[in-house]
Structures are given as structure tokens and as C-alpha cells.
């Protein structure tokens, strides 16, 4: 029951819920928050339709002083806290319930916010008024709802065996389908339709929707008999499966076969009928669009100058004739912006534009927004009108949108709920050559969809596409090639670099080969000369190479990047090819290297080369010193020779990344040192010269050991072509490829697809959620299928997470459960061949936009009463780390950064909890206030990362509310009500409250990251399952703490100037000869107190020097208590005779029979609570018994004893 609102506007909204406008002049932020809570905290009771509540929050100069500047923002945040989402396409219909949008009334010059509240209509409204809802009214209400809402409510009727409602609904659907079919036929024939019939057609969603509901109910009735599956018995506490057997039985009995299971021929006929119906319905809209878009566009001449314009008619013809068209176009040809317009213009010319619905996917968010904005400008329409975009956390579209640019993930999310892509006429997949995971998965789904949707058109586009692969994958497809518009780029290779610079590789240097004599003999010289006289090599070199160049080619180590030679090439371009002149802005140089450490090495070599102090410079380079130049641009200084050196890497702060787009100081040349981030993601418009070192970092994945490795490897020709193209965007350019022509000719054409290089956990979840069959069989249909070992590894992980289970379980005890014997060959074969299904937990995990581990953390956090904390944690792990690498700023040396990170971490011993602690401190400082910005600068933290975490956290909270796991915080004591008593009872004692809260989060991480567990031996070494030896990654605060504790114990010290590690006996640095600092006494770092740890992922570090070995290291580590492993681990075994308990057969401890029995009992009670909550899937508070179980287990987990 809602108490009477104190705010007058809120009271008026609740007493008479109708469309109205209210002026918020004079309101401050706290008043707005109160107004929103009181007006929209609970759903409004309306008469069966949506209402719109409009607030005036600002205006022009005449009224601006009446309104607070932060009024609109405060209103939006207050609504988002209640679970409302911003949607620019929201309108007065029930689909928009719980949304809001901003608008500028240009006629009255007012700034407005439209709110579409959550409402209770139909039965809920009648109940509020005391009148019972009739069976006919109930049927009309559920049929008028969206299909997902219809199936959800009717499923409850099926489960409760409500025969009265079901019979009334069947009768209503049969009559409505007959009536609406006649109405639709009248529409097609152009006959007159009465206003009442037309209104009923719109209210019920049309014949298609009613027929779909009717067919679904018929299938549900056929399958809703007694289940043939045996329901599992009560949990024995040995395995925390997070399953709900009763719910699984109901799901199998009540949920009918998916619509996609119908015959392809029937669906093809339906598709033809749908298209004809849509063309008929939208004929008036099509005529209106023809008149509206007939005028000349301002950017028409610019469009006609693009190379794609020459293929306009060919593209339109191919798309009309073939279901699949492959378009290959070089960089700058205009394919991304023009092809969707050509398709739309073709339908516009035919008078069918109203029926068009074109979706184009982009692999990156920034690309989706940029392409949509450009298309909207060229069509002379506002962004969000005929052209819109949709990315994670943000969308701008409307009911009029005909061209929607979205990320690939957004389209895959739509396919989860609409596997036939109803109402979509064209799908354009851009940047196919990148072969990322989502794109390859999307292509499998689209190929299977084509027989069911013969009128759907698929267009595949890329700059460096291997068209034949896609033509083979889509038989009968057509291909079109569009030439590029880039300026010519002169390509040079390693031979030219040595020739132009007269560079000499000294014998015995690190860049000289060790397996040959430095001086080549006569036979070696002749063999090398003959190799370069071959036509294929001679054509690329273009000149006869002198002996001294052949001598250097004989010496050079092809597996290393010679940074001294790179510096010489940059110097050659700067001083001889294009020297700086007064009044002329010199072209920028873009240098591609594999990673961040290589960027630092290249910058150091360039500084030494340009300063003439080669080999003499000691201490930190400008990347770490951060001296600021005296020119107009801020950032690293300009060298004496006039080079403005700028690093560009994803780990560098956003502010430092933006420097690369600025013009250099007067008289200086910009040199950008970057990785493959600059190949396609960004364009620096003043680049004229490229130096390509020929290598890049690539992720490789070992599925057997679940280890990811970031390997430094040779680039492909596709990478090299993209890099070379960066030099020809504004004028003819020059590119130096630092590979010899013989190696260049042997390069692979394309990169290995991402599907072969990354874990497939999320992909397997998505396959199961969409009902596409067994993941192994489905993924075998990919262009380049993953191995069975990779799929098996991911399925094993999902079974350990309790997200997937076998439908046919082995009869017998729990000990015979799959995987209980350590995944032997029999278990692996069963997993690859048996029928799988998502558990209720897995169903929820698959719908959350994070990896499976984070998704499980979110679900458990809601059940344990800390949804806000786990959303912060999951959001922080899903975005870039806030520990930015700064290109400028005091104290940014590696040692200073590590020390600062240790100070911020304190005694948490957790990479994940450090992120939560920092985010909460940033929030307390006011987020975007000067104090928060200053704190970020002082500690070397990336402000943009915190803002991304804030956006992602709000998005995750909204999804949890939408899925029923959490409720909007409509009152200040809402968090207290959800928390277990061991936390809510000590809210005032902040220090102890935070200790317990973080301890509970550690335990939930234990359940979410299982089986990624580590144990520490007495000597500090770490081991995992199967006695595998592991270590902490250098980026982990646990590695820093362990190393510093060991260093303090030994007396060794690290040089503050160059970061070199020195033994205790040295009084001067061995590297730079700086004296040992007499630092003031500081708090000693204590050794790690935890004996057990969880980790996010394993990576393998390759040997970097002679005598070194590769290591397997763990990222995102967190210390956990041993008791949390036994309470929340996946599977435990108890030997009562030996008095021993073990987790998954490798973590053992002594346990008395009484303790072991209590442990199994607690796990059994927890299993029951989890099963009930997953089955209920509602934001209702736990029952008193369940709340007591959660509180007792939470109390055990947070107690500071083992």
C-alpha cells in the first residue's frame, strides 16, 4: 500500500493518472528525487492504456533562471534508480512502460522530459477498483500484450491447470484470428474497413501476432501432460548444482516447440505472405517517404564522388536478385555508408520504402555511432529518425527508423527472442574480414535462417575480404568489388631501410643472428645475391643490392625488432625525405610495434638517436618522465630535432590517447608509436608516413589447460595492407615494412579467426539459450569450426558452473555424476554426444551481458542480498582497468605506479575488491566533480574507466530488475531489507561492516570463479588441480605484495630512478649507478595471509631471455578463506571413516564426522534456497526460513576465523 505523497505534483499524478504536463521551476535535486520516488515508485493504475507524464526542466534565456542546471540530470538519475531506462524511441504504448526520453520543444523553446511510467492495466486495475476481471477481459488483455509477456503469463495458467481461463483463451484466439484474417484480407484488397475493426486490429497486434499466440497455445496444450522425465530427488548437499528440478519439469512440460521448428517450406510461404501484407500496410507510408525524400540532398555531390557510386546500380540489382551478396571494397570506397542507402533508395524508387527494415552490424561501438551519424547527415535526416543506432547501454532510434546500425552483439541479442528476424528485410554485416567471434556466430545463424526467410537479404562487406571463403560458405551468392580511393603509397622493405640509412648491425649485438658467422663468405654472398635476382624478389626490391646491404641482411635476426634501425628510418624521413620547412606542416609518422613495452623501447631509441646520446642516456625516458613541452600542445616534450613523440595504447589514459589527434607544436613533426589499435579502429588524418615493424600481439588459447597466451608473432598480409593504407588517406604516402621481401612473400594472407583463439563458454551458453542444438554440432557449421577439444573445455567449465547439465543423468548415486571422476574419456564423450539443457541458473547467465563467471556472481549476489555490490564488481571486471599507463605526469615510473597501486589496495589481497573500493571512493567524491578528477590525476587513475563502470553498473542493475532478481530501490532502507542480518545489523559500524561485506564478496567470487582455485604451500609456491604449478601475474596486487614482502625480508632494494632490482649488498644501482636511497621508514608489507585464492584467467608468459622459462600466471586474483571453498565449492566428498573432506577431489582437510555432517546439511539447505529462488525468479523478499539459512551461511562466511 502506497502512503499519500507529500509532493503536490506526485500526489496529483497518483490520484489522476493521465497524460499531463508539469513545470518543475524552482525544484532542487533532492525535491526531484522525492517527487520521482513518490510518483513512480510503484506502478500507476490506469484504464488499460499508457500515459505520458511530461516535465518542463529548462528553457531559453527568458526562463532559464527558473530552473536548476542539473535538473534534467537529477530527474534522469532518479528515474534510473527506479529501474527506468532512457529510450529515444519511447511512445504512448505499453511497450514503452518504464522508459523516459528528453525533448527540446523548439516552438516554445522549452526543455522537456517525457516519462512513460510502469502501469497496471486490465486485471491489475480491476483488482484495484474492487471489480473482478472477467474471463473475456483476461483473454483480451494477455493477447494484446507482447508475445513474450503472453507466453510468460499463460505458462502460469498452464502450470496451475486453470482450465476455465485456458478454454476462454482458446475460444477468444480462434474468433479473433478469424476476424483479423478477414480484416487483413480487406486491407490487401483495398476494401473499406470500419474504424472499430481497424482499432481492434491494432489493439490485438494484427493477425500474425494472434495466429502465433494461437499456435503456441495449441502446442503447449499438447505437451502439458504428465512429464516423462523423472524428477531428481532431494539434494544431498554434496553438489551445489543450482538447479531447480521442479522448475525444469514444468519448463519441459509447458514450453512448446519453438516457432523455428516448423518446416522450412511452410515458413517460406509465411515469409511471402508477410512481405505482401507488409507492403500493403505501408503503402501510404511509402508514398509519404517518396514525397519527403524527393528533394536534393546537400551532400549528394560528395556521395557521387565516392568509388562506390560507380557500382550503385550493380549493388541494387545483385541485392534484388540474390539472397546473399558479398561486397569487397578497399579503404575509403564508401561502402559502409553508401550500401545501406542504395538498398533503401531502390525500395524508395519502387514505392516500397515504408516496408524496408535494414540492419547493419559493426564490430565496434564507436564505428556504429559514427557510421549512423554519417548516413543520417547524407540523407538529410536527424539521427534517430530514419537512421538510428543501437549499442550496449545506448540506443537512438524511433518507429520511423529504416536503417539501424548496431553492434553485432545487439543483433545476436535480438535473435535470442526473435529467431526469424521478423519485420527485418535486409541484414548487412560489415568488416567480415575481422572474423571476430560474434560475426562468425552470426553468419552460422543467418545461413540457417535463409531457407526459412527467402525474402531476407544478406550483404557481407569488408575492406580486405577473402571473398571466395564467403562465396563457398553461401552457395549461390553474388560478389561485387569496389575500388578504393586512397592515394598511392610507395612500399619499402627491410632492404630499402638498410640501403637508405646505411645502417650497420654490429657483430655480437642483440639484433645480430647468433647461429651464423657475422662475416659472410663468398658462397653465402652468392646464394643471397641469387635469391634477390629471382623475378618475384627483384620486382619488390626494384634495384640491385650492394654488398654492404647483403652483409646486413645476412646478420639481421628476423625474429627481433631492431629499434635502432626503426629510429634511423624515422630520422631519414624527418631529415631527408620530408624535412620540416617554415610555413609547412610536416606529415605525421605512424610507427607500428607489438605492445606497450615495445612502444617504450622505440621511444627511448628515438630520443637517443635524435639527441645524439646513443647508448649514454640513463634513467627514465620521456614516456615515464612526462616532461611537458613548451609548445601549444600539452603532453610529452618535443625532441631537439623537432619530433613530438606520442604513445597510443589501450592501457594509456583517454586524455593521453586524444593527443594523437591534435596538431603538433609549430615546427615539429608528430610521431605516433602504436599497436594494431590504429589499423582500423581509429584514423589519424595527418599521417603521411608509416613504419611497420611487421609484428603484433595475438591471443592464442590452449583449451586443454584453459590458458590464454598473448604471443608476439608476425603480421599477416591483411594487417600489413591495413597499416600501409593509413599513409594514403590525405595525399600520396610512404610505408616502410621492416621485413625482408623473402619473408614478406611467405606471410599468411589472413589472421586466424577469433573462434579458434578464445574460450567458447559464452558462445556455448548462447547456442543453448537460442535452442540451436548441441553446441559442438552447431559450431561445427562455422566457416572455420573450432576443435572438439575447445568446445569440450568450455562445456566442462559450464558444467562446473552449474549452467549446463545432461538431460539423461546416470542412474545411481551422486558419485557417478558426470565429471565426478575428473573428466575421464567416457565423461568427455558423453558430454560431446549427450543432449544438454540449460539449468535455470544457466538460462539467467546466458541473458546477462557479461561472461558466465560474472553472470553467476550477479545471480548469487542478489540471493545473498548484495546486488549493488556484485553489479559494481561485475561492471569493473567488464571494462578497462582504471590503473592507466600515463604518457605524462609526475611519478609515473613503473616503481612509483606499483607503489601507488599497493597503497590503494591496502590489505585487501584482491584485484577485484580493489576495483570496488576505488569505485566507491570515486562515487563518494562526487563522480565528475573537481575533487574526483584531482584524486584520479594524483593516483594515476583513468576517470573514463570509472564513468564506464558507472554506466555498466546501472545497466546491469536494470537487467537484474527486469529478470526479477532485484527490485528498484524505492526507499532508503531497501538495501538494508535485502541484506543478511549479519550485515544489516551493523550498518553504523562502517569499518566492521565493510570488512564483513568484502568477506562475503570474496566468498561469492569463490562460487562464481569455480574451478579456478589456487592453494599456497608453506614455501609460498602456488599450485592448482593436478599439482599444476602457477604464479600471480605481475599486474596483480597479490604479486606486488608478495614480491615486496620478500624483498623487505631479504634487504634487497629497487632503484627509484630506473627501476632496476638490486641485491642487499649493493650501495649503488648496478644499472644507472644512482646511490641507494635512504628512504624514510614506512609501513612494512606483510606476507600474504590467505592460503587459498581464486583467479579469473590463466595466461602463459613466454621466455624473454636466455635461460628463462615460460610461466603460467594468473590474472584477477582474490584471496579467499578455505571454509568458503567447502561451503560454496561445486562438489565435495566426505570420508566419514577417515575423517576427511575434499573439494573436487584435490583440496583436502581433516573433518570430524559431526563437522562433516553439519557441512553437508548447510549445503543441502543452501541448495534448497537457491532452487526455490531460481524457480521463483522474482524480486520478492526471501521467506523467513530461507532468509535464516542465508543469514547463517553468510555469518559463517564473514566470521574472521577458519
- Judged against a pLDDT cut of 60, whether residue 628 lies above it is answered with no
Is the pTM for the entire model greater than 0.85?
no
* Across 716-725, 792-801, 1087-1096, 1168-1177, least confident range: 1168-1177
- Judged against a pLDDT cut of 50, whether residue 992 lies above it is answered with yes
Contact 1039, 1032 (CB under 8 A): yes
Q: What is the pLDDT, as a whole number, of residue 608?
A: 81
**What does pLDDT average to over the chain?**
79
- 3-state secondary structure string, 44-58? EECCCCCCCEEEEEE
pLDDT band with cut points at 50, 70 and 90 for residue 888: very low
Q: What is the pLDDT, as a whole number, of residue 317?
A: 94
pLDDT digit string (tens) for 669-682? 999 999 887 776 56
| Residues recorded for the chain | 1202
Q: What is the pLDDT, as a whole number, of residue 449?
A: 92
Helices 163-189 and 147-159: angle between axes, nearest 10 degrees: 150
Q: What is the pLDDT, as a whole number, of residue 324?
A: 95
* Across 345-359, 604-618, 803-817, least confident range: 803-817
Q: Which CA distances in Å does 388 have to 340, 402, 454?
A: 12, 8, 26
Alpha-helical regions (H) of 28-98: 29-40, 71-81
Q: What is the pLDDT, as a whole number, of residue 459?
A: 95
For the residues 350-366, what does the mean pLDDT come to?
89
CA angle 784–822–819, rounded 5-degree value: 70
pLDDT band with cut points at 50, 70 and 90 for residue 262: very low
pLDDT digit string (tens) for 495-534? 999 999 999 988 888 888 877 888 888 888 888 889 888 8
Q: What is the pLDDT, as a whole number, of residue 427?
A: 96
Alpha-helical regions (H) of 145-205: 147-159, 163-189, 195-203
Q: What is the pLDDT, as a whole number, of residue 565?
A: 93
DSSP secondary structure string for all residues of 621-646: -HHHH--B-SSSS-SBPBPTTSEEEE
Residue 87 cell numbers, joined: 529510450
CA distance 428 to 338: 12
**Widest CA span in the chain:** 105
Contact 27, 71 (CB under 8 A): yes
Q: What is the pLDDT, as a whole number, of residue 968?
A: 67
The side-by-side arrangement of strands in the sheet containing 110-116 is: 20-23, 53-59, 110-116, 99-105, 85-86
Dihedral pair phi/psi, residue 31, rounded to 5°: -65, -40
The β-bridge relationship of strands 588-592 and 687-692 is parallel
* Across 116-125, 219-228, 489-498, 1179-1188, least confident range: 219-228
pLDDT band with cut points at 50, 70 and 90 for residue 51: confident
For the residues 156-174, what does the mean pLDDT come to?
75
- Judged against a pLDDT cut of 80, whether residue 812 lies above it is answered with no
Q: Which CA distances in Å does 544 have to 224, 497, 524, 526?
A: 82, 14, 17, 13
Residue 944 cell numbers, joined: 573514463
pLDDT band with cut points at 50, 70 and 90 for residue 633: very low
Alpha-helical regions (H) of 308-466: 312-321, 335-349, 365-378, 408-417, 437-449
Q: Which CA distances in Å does 153 have to 47, 360, 1117, 1176?
A: 20, 34, 43, 14
3-state secondary structure of 799: helix
Alpha-helical regions (H) of 906-973: 911-924, 930-938, 943-962
Look-up of cell digits 512502460: 97
CA distance 635 to 814: 63
- Judged against a pLDDT cut of 90, whether residue 434 lies above it is answered with no
Q: What is the pLDDT, as a whole number, of residue 254?
A: 38
Range with top average pLDDT, 75-84, 445-454, 691-700, 816-825: 445-454
Q: What is the pLDDT, as a whole number, of residue 458?
A: 96
- Judged against a pLDDT cut of 70, whether residue 687 lies above it is answered with yes
CA distance 489 to 289: 43
Rg (CA), the chain: 33
- Judged against a pLDDT cut of 90, whether residue 316 lies above it is answered with yes
CA angle 794–799–801, rounded 5-degree value: 95
Peptide bond into 663 cis (omega under 30): no
Smallest CA-to-CA distance from 393 within 753, 1061, 978, 849 is with: 849
Dihedral pair phi/psi, residue 491, rounded to 5°: -100, 125
80: CB partners within 8 A, 6+ apart = 86, 954, 958
Q: Tally DSSP H helices, then E strands, for the chain.
A: 48, 35
Amino acid at each position: 500500500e502506497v502512503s499519500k505523497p507529500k509532493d503536490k505534483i506526485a500526489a496529483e499524478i497518483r490520484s489522476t493518472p493521465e497524460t499531463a504536463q508539469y513545470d518543475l521551476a524552482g525544484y532542487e535535486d533532492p525535491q526531484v528525487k522525492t517527487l520521482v520516488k513518490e510518483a513512480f515508485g510503484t506502478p500507476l493504475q490506469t484504464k488499460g492504456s499508457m500515459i505520458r507524464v511530461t516535465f518542463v526542466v529548462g528553457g531559453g534565456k527568458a526562463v532559464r533562471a527558473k530552473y536548476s542546471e542539473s535538473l534534467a540530470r537529477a530527474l534522469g538519475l532518479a528515474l534510473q534508480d527506479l529501474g527506468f531506462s532512457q529510450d529515444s524511441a519511447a511512445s504512448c504504448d505499453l511497450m514503452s512502460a518504464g522508459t523516459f526520453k528528453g525533448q527540446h520543444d523548439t516552438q516554445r523553446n522549452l526543455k522537456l522530459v517525457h516519462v512513460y511510467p510502469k502501469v497496471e492495466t486490465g486485471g491489475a486495475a480491476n483488482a484495484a477498483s474492487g471489480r473482478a476481471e472477467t474471463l473475456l477481459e483476461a483473454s483480451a488483455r494477455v493477447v494484446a500484450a507482447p508475445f513474450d509477456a503472453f507466453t510468460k503469463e499463460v505458462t502460469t495458467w498452464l502450470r496451475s491447470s486453470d482450465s476455465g481461463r485456458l478454454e476462454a483463451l482458446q475460444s477468444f484466439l480462434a474468433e479473433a484470428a478469424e476476424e483479423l484474417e478477414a480484416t487483413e484480407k480487406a486491407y490487401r484488397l483495398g476494401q473499406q474497413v470500419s474504424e472499430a475493426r481497424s482499432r481492434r486490429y491494432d489493439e490485438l497486434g494484427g493477425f500474425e501476432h494472434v495466429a502465433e499466440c494461437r499456435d503456441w497455445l495449441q502446442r503447449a496444450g499438447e505437451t502439458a501432460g504428465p512429464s516423462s522425465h523423472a524428477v531428481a530427488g532431494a539434494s544431498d548437499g554434496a553438489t551445489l548444482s543450482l538447479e531447480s528440478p521442479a522448475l525444469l519439469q514444468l519448463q519441459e512440460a509447458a514450453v512448446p516447440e519453438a516457432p523455428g521448428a516448423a518446416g522450412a517450406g511452410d515458413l517460406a510461404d509465411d515469409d511471402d505472405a508477410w512481405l505482401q501484407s507488409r507492403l500493403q500496410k505501408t503503402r501510404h507510408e511509402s508514398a509519404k517517404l517518396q514525397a519527403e525524400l524527393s528533394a536534393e540532398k546537400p551532400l549528394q555531390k560528395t556521395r557521387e564522388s565516392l568509388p562506390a557510386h560507380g557500382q550503385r546500380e550493380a549493388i541494387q540489382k545483385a541485392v534484388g536478385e540474390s539472397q546473399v551478396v558479398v561486397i569487397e571494397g578497399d579503404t575509403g570506397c564508401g561502402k559502409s555508408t553508401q550500401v545501406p542507402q542504395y538498398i533503401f533508395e531502390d525500395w524508395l524508387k519502387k514505392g516500397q520504402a515504408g516496408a524496408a527494415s535494414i540492419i547493419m552490424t559493426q564490430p565496434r561501438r564507436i564505428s556504429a555511432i559514427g557510421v549512423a551519424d554519417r548516413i543520417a547527415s547524407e540523407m538529410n535526416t536527424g539521427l534517430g529518425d530514419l537512421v538510428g543506432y543501437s549499442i550496449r547501454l545506448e540506443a537512438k532510434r524511433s518507429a520511423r527508423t529504416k536503417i539501424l546500425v548496431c553492434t553485432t552483439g545487439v543483433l545476436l541479442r535480438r535473435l535470442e527472442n526473435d529467431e526469424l528476424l521478423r519485420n527485418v528485410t535486409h541484414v548487412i554485416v560489415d568488416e567480415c574480414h575481422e572474423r571476430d567471434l560474434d560475426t562468425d556466430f552470426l553468419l552460422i545463424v543467418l545461413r540457417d535462417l535463409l531457407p526459412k526467410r527467402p525474402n531476407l537479404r544478406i550483404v557481407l562487406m569488408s575492406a580486405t575480404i577473402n571473398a571466395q571463403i564467403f562465396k563457398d560458405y553461401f552457395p549461390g551468392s553474388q560478389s561485387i568489388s569496389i575500388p578504393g580511393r586512397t592515394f598511392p603509397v610507395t612500399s619499402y622493405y627491410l632492404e630499402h631501410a638498410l640501403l637508405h640509412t646505411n645502417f650497420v648491425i654490429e657483430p655480437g649485438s642483440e639484433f645480430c643472428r647468433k647461429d651464423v658467422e657475422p662475416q659472410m663468405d663468398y658462397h653465402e654472398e652468392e646464394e643471397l645475391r641469387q635469391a634477390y635476382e629471382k623475378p618475384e624478389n627483384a620486382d619488390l626490391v626494384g634495384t640491385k643490392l650492394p654488398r654492404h646491404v647483403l652483409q646486413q641482411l645476412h646478420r639481421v635476426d628476423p625474429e627481433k625488432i631492431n629499434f635502432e634501425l626503426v629510429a634511423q628510418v624515422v630520422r631519414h624521413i624527418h631529415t631527408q625525405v620530408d624535412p620540416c620547412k617554415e610555413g609547412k606542416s610536416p606529415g605525421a609518422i605512424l610507427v607500428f610495434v607489438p605492445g606497450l613495452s615495445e612502444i617504450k623501447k622505440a621511444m627511448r631509441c628515438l630520443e637517443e638517436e635524435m639527441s645524439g646520446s646513443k647508448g649514454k642516456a640513463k634513467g627514465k625516458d620521456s614516456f615515464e618522465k612526462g616532461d611537458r613541452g613548451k609548445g601549444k600542445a600539452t603532453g610529452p616534450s618535443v625532441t631537439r630535432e623537432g619530433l613530438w613523440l606520442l604513445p597510443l595504447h589501450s592501457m594509456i589514459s583517454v586524455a593521453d590517447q586524444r593527443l594523437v589527434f591534435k596538431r603538433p607544436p609549430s615546427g615539429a613533426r608528430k610521431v605516433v608509436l602504436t599497436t594494431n589499435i590504429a589499423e582500423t579502429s581509429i584514423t589519424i588524418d595527418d599521417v603521411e608516413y608509416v613504419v611497420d615493424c611487421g609484428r603484433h600481439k595475438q591471443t592464442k588459447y590452449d583449451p586443454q589447460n584453459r590458458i590464454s597466451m598473448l604471443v608476439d608473432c608476425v603480421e599477416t598480409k591483411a594487417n600489413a595492407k591495413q597499416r600501409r593504407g593509413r599513409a594514403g588517406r590525405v595525399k600520396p604516402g610512404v610505408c616502410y615494412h621492416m621485413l625482408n621481401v623473402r619473408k614478406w612473400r611467405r606471410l599468411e594472407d589472413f589472421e586466424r579467426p577469433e573462434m579458434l583463439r578464445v574460450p567458447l563458454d559464452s558462445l556455448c551458453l548462447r547456442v543453448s539459450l537460442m535452442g540451436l542444438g548441441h553446441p559442438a554440432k552447431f559450431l561445427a557449421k562455422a566457416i572455420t569450426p573450432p576443435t572438439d577439444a575447445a568446445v569440450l573445455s568450455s562445456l566442462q567449465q559450464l558444467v562446473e558452473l552449474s549452467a549446463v547439465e545432461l538431460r539423461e543423468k546416470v542412474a545411481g548415486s551422486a558419485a557417478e555424476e558426470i565429471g565426478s571422476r575428473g573428466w575421464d574419456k567416457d565423461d568427455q564423450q558423453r558430454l560431446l554426444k549427450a543432449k544438454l539443457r540449460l539449468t535455470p541458473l544457466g538460462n539467467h547467465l546466458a541473458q546477462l551481458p557479461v561472461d558466465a563467471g560474472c553472470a553467476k556472481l550477479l545471480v548469487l549476489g542478489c540471493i545473498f542480498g548484495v546486488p549493488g555490490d556484485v553489479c559494481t564488481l561485475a561492471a569493473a571486471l567488464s571494462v578497462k582497468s582504471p590503473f592507466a599507463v600515463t604518457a605524462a605526469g609526475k611519478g609515473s615510473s613503473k616503481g612509483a605506479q606499483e607503489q601507488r597501486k599497493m597503497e590503494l589496495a591496502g590489505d585487501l589481497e584482491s584485484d577485484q575488491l580493489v576495483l570496488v573500493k576505488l569505485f566507491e571512493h570515486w562515487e563518494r567524491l562526487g563522480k565528475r566533480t573537481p575533487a574526483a578528477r584531482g584524486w584520479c590525476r594524483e593516483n594515476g587513475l583513468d576517470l573514463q574507466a570509472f564513468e564506464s563502470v558507472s554506466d555498466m553498473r546501472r545497466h546491469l542493475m536494470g537487467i537484474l530488475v527486469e529478470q526479477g532478481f532485484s527490485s528498484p530501490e524505492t526507499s532508503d532502507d531497501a538495501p538494508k531489507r535485502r541484506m543478511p542480518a549479519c550485515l544489516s545489523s551493523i550498518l553504523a559500524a562502517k569499518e566492521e561492516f565493510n570488512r564483513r561485506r568484502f568477506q562475503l564478496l570474496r566468498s561469492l567470487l569463490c562460487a562464481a570463479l569455480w574451478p579456478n582455485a589456487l592453494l599456497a604451500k608453506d614455501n609460498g609456491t602456488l599450485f592448482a588441480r593436478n599439482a599444476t604449478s602457477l604464479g600471480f601475474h605481475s599486474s596483480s596486487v597479490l604479486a606486488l605484495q608478495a614480491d615486496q614482502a620478500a624483498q623487505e625480508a631479504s634487504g634487497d632494494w629497487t632503484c627509484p630512478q630506473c627501476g632496476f632490482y638490486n641485491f642487499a649488498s649493493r650501495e649503488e644501482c648496478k644499472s644507472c649507478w644512482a646511490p641507494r636511497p635512504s628512504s624514510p621508514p614506512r609501513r612494512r608489507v606483510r606476507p600474504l595471509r590467505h592460503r587459498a585464492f581464486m583467479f579469473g584467467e590463466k595466461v602463459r608468459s613466454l621466455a624473454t631471455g636466455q635461460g628463462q622459462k615460460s610461466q603460467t600466471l594468473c590474472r584477477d586474483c582474490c584471496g579467499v578463506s578455505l571454509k568458503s571453498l567447502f561451503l560454496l565449492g561445486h562438489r565435495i566428498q566426505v570420508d566419514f571413516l577417515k575423517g576427511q573432506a575434499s573439494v573436487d577431489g584435490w583440496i583436502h582437510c581433516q573433518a570430524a564426522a559431526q563437522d562433516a555432517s553439519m557441512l553437508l546439511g548447510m549445503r543441502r539447505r543452501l541448495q534448497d534456497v537457491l532452487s526455490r529462488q531460481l524457480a521463483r525468479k522474482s524480486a520478492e523478499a526471501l521467506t523467513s526460513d530461507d532468509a535464516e539459512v542465508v543469514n547463517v551461511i553468510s555469518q559463517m562466511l564473514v566470521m574472521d576465523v577458519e
